[in-house]
Amino acid sequence: MIQTLDVNPDLAKAQNAEAGASKFCPGCGHGMILKTLAHTLDDLELQEKAVFGCDIGCSLLSWNYMNVDSVQTHHGRTTPVIYGVTRANPGTIGIAYMGDGGGLAIGSQHLVNAAVRGENMLIVLANNTNYGMTGGQMAPTTMPGQKTETTPYGRDCEVTGKPAKGAEMVASIVDPNKAYVARASVSNLRSLRKTFTKALKNVEKGGFSFVEVLSICPLNWITNNEGTWDRLKTMEEFFDVKEFVQREGLE
Ligand SMILES: Cc1ncc(C[n+]2csc(CCOP(=O)(O)OP(=O)(O)O)c2C)c(N)n1
Ligand code: SF4
């Protein structure tokens, strides 16, 4: 028999206590990212002002995860839906949540335009180096040599081109006086909370924030605990975990 706790003492106010057990696979990174985001919203008392949008992909499993106004969008369209909401309702803290496929493949033009225009919102992109929901196909972020369902011999960059580096791309096109751009990892949730804090403070000041989070997908990676964390380490060597753009005055 599976036993569940009635009360989770670590539940954030910005998490939906009535959502029941998480819909993510055991060990998935999405839950870690979202819980950290919810705690940061609590820290900054932004729950009432926030509007959360999730993409298609495993991020959609968070449609009722947050205890904030939420909307679930079409694949790749979370960014324009959320900046539409914030444009129509100034003062709203718009948060668009997506996978690397949603942000860097089908929704890449929206990401580019939102970044260039400096839309007032936070984009959180969970990079698990594959298309999680559809069974682990190669994504723009799949690393050289990485095996996926569609690269069974490992990604060959001669054939597929190089992996996309989202944070670097966004950093190169934003206005640094109004932006915050960083890459974090689920290996350090305290640091992720600090990153989200700066990103949300920048949104409160009217700016554009982009946080890419290196995430884990043990189901499609077909990894045990050790293999999962080894893969994450490899990702942290390939994708720099750091702040790329930080407007003045953010703490
Ligand atoms: C317009 C459209 N094209 C393709 C799909 C199929 N599809 C659903 S989820 C997905 C990829 C999800 O991968 P990612 O965005 O990286 O998120 P993850 O599941 O890894 O969190 C695709 C291609 C779709 N639902 N809609
Ligand atoms: S398939 Fe991967 S990304 Fe999707 S819920 Fe499972 S572990 Fe998470």
Domain boundaries, the chain: 29-246
- Ligand 2 pocket residue status of 127, Cβ below 6 Å: no
- Please give the mean pLDDT across all residues of the chain: 95
Architecture of the domain delimited by 29-246: 3-Layer(aba) Sandwich (3.40)
Q: Residue 85 in contact with residue 79, Cβ under 8 Å?
A: no
Cα separations (Å) of 90 from 52, 121, 159, 210?
15, 11, 45, 19
* Closest-approaching ligand to the CA atom of 106: 1
Q: Which of 22, 23, 25 to mutate to test the pocket of ligand 2 (most atoms within 8 A of CB)?
A: 25
What is residue 1's predicted lDDT score, i.e. its pLDDT?
A: 44
Q: Which burial class, exposed, middle or buried, applies to 158 when counting CB atoms under 10 A from its CB (0-12, 13-18, 19+)?
A: exposed
**What pLDDT digit, counting tens, does each position of 51-95 carry?**
999 999 999 999 999 999 999 999 999 999 999 999 999 999 999
Whether ligand 2 lies within 6 angstroms of the CB of 77 is answered as no
In 3D, which of 68, 39, 67 has the Cα closest to residue 51? 68
Contact 130/123 with Cβ under 8 angstroms? no
Alpha-carbon distance values, 61 to 22, 28, 31, 87, 179 (Å):
8, 12, 10, 26, 29
Average pLDDT for 155-179: 98
How far apart are alpha carbons 109 and 44 in whole angstroms? 31
pLDDT, position 239: 98
Maximum CA pair distance of the chain? 55
- Among 249, 108, 87, which residue's Cα sits nearest to residue 176? 249
Which of 56, 58, 212 gets mutated to test ligand 1 (max ligand atoms within 8 A of its CB)? Answer: 56
Residue 159's CB: how many other CB atoms inside 10 A?
Answer: 7
Instruction: Give CA separation, 52 vs 2, 159, 201, 234, in Å.
Output: 31, 37, 16, 31
pLDDT tens-digit series, residues 96-107:
999 999 999 999
Model pLDDT for residues 5-34, shown as the tens digit of each residue? 555 668 999 999 898 888 999 999 999 999
pTM assigned to the model: 0.96
> Does the C-beta of 99 come closer than 6 Å to ligand 2?
no
Q: What's the pLDDT at 20?
A: 84
pLDDT at position 229 over 80: yes
Least confident window among 7-16, 135-144, 195-204: 7-16
Amino acid at 20: G
